[in-house]
Amino acid sequence: MSEQLDRTERVEARLSRDALVVIERAAEIEGRSVSEFIVNSAEKAAQETVERTTMIRLAVEDQRRMWEALLNPPEPNEALRRAFEAHKRLVRESR
């Protein structure tokens, strides 16, 4: 229960009566207070939004890196040269 002890910030929100009734019912079903239900639900939604945005940003960055590697490929290292030679041997042997 240290989570409750760490809570020091306050947020105020206005909502319709219908929304409050649904939230109260959901909180009751989960055995939580309305405040706890709202805080946990908002935190979960916020976390999902941040993660989704991060994934999109990383996907764009990955695309940029891929194009950069295609346009300006690095020199093959020793491991890649050995893999290429092994591949050539395997392909020749399988014919």
| Predicted TM-score (pTM) of this structure | 0.55
pLDDT grade for 60, boundaries at 50, 70 and 90:
confident
- What is the C-alpha to C-alpha distance for residues 38 and 85, in angstroms, rounded to an integer? 61
- The DSSP annotation for 57-85 comes to HHHHHHHHHHHHHHHSPPPP-HHHHHHHH
Percent share of the chain, pLDDT over 70: 95
**pLDDT given at position 2:** 47
pLDDT digits (tens, 9 = 90+) for 12-55: 999 999 999 999 999 999 999 999 999 999 999 999 999 988 87
Q: Reduce the DSSP state of residue 11 to 3 states and report it.
A: coil
